Amino acid sequence: MATLTSVLLIDRHQLLIDSLSQWLLMNAPEIRVLAGTSSWSHEDGTPQGDAAVKADVAVVGELHGSEAANLAGIVSSLRASGMQVVLLADRQPLMVIKSALDAGALAVVPKSADPGHTAAAIRAAASGRRYLHPEITGMLDSTASTRVELSVRERRLVELYLGPMPRSIREVADVLAISEQTVKSHLHRVRQRYAAAGFNVGNIISLQEQLRKDGWLG
């Protein structure tokens, strides 16, 4: 007899929750949907608008604005609550998907994929195995060797600005004997280069994280 896997579905659209719940009921009886909710409070670790749920696997689809911007935090909170995480990717930038994987998500499936892939991802996650849909694997492989090149001046600039002893833009300008506007222009060009390579580095934290991953920051 197959082991019963309990699931919490999280998606801002009730239609997705209802349709996926119905598909699983009809086609994967060993997967039981305990509840569906439109959001997850990562502060206290409970579904908002529903009773607290203890599931084996959380399937996370499209979230509301503030939650979508903190997908990694949501994943971390779900993992801290004892659930494995399956992400239904819905036009998220590749960097967001990578951050969700880094935060502990075990499986990623495009939201538009056949539900059979979601069921397979749930089974894999419940047993602690990774499951990446071929489309997601292709996306990750295509950027695995992507590295944004920085000039010598840019390397020095980002090291001063975001390194172990971060300085203000004014201090960076003083050290390099350039204007504050020139510092800002260099940073803007670095962000543009990352954006062109498919990485979302719109804020200081995400830029610092990506620079560190690429080896430009110690």
Task: Report residue 11 as tokens.
Answer: 């998606």
Domains 5-142 and 152-213 share a fold: no
Q: Kind of pairing, strands 46-47 and 40-41? A: antiparallel
Where exactly are the structural domains of the chain?
5-142, 152-213
| Residue pLDDT, tens place only, 44-94 | 555 554 445 689 999 999 988 778 778 888 999 999 999 999 999 987 777
Q: Examine the pLDDT at 207 and tell me if it is beyond 60.
A: yes
What is the chain's alpha carbon radius of gyration, rounded to the nearest angstrom? 21
Residues near 2 by beta carbon (within 8 Å), at least 6 away in sequence? 30
Task: Give the right CATH number for 152-213 from 1.20.1630, 1.25.40, 1.10.10, 1.20.81.
Answer: 1.10.10
CATH code linked to domain 5-142: 3.40.50.2300
| Residue pLDDT, tens place only, 148-169 | 788 888 989 999 999 888 999 9
| Residue pLDDT, tens place only, 11-48 | 999 999 999 999 999 999 999 999 999 988 755 555 55
Is the pTM higher than 0.85? The answer reads: no
